[in-house]
Amino acid sequence: LVSLFMSDLMVGLVVMPPAMLNQLYGRWVLQEDFCSLWASFDVMCCSASILNLCVISLDRYLLITSPLQYKLRVTSCRALALILATWTLAALASFLPI
């Protein structure tokens, strides 16, 4: 949940202010170099948010389908690995095309 919070917070703090300026002025008013970086952060944060929701859904599914084996399957190390994989996949999908 903290990872989902961080991705949504980054959308609100990093992605939305330049998007708001873009909507208000009808064109990109910031530096041209910042545009591709902003677009990458936009894709990364939104992708991380969606992937975090998928991981949370998987976690809830495992808890409901096998509650007695849940503690054995979902350890702190595995949860951390899933969070790192989520952010890594989101970063690769957004920053590699640049």
d(CA 31, CA 34): 5
pLDDT digit string (tens) for the chain, length 98 residues? 889 999 999 999 999 999 999 889 988 888 888 888 889 999 999 999 999 999 999 999 999 999 999 989 889 999 999 999 999 999 999 988 87
Q: Which of 53, 55, 49, 63 is CA-nearest to residue 94?
A: 49
Domain regions of the chain by residue span: 1-96
Distances (CA, A) of 13 to 34, 38, 41, 61, 84: 15, 12, 11, 31, 21
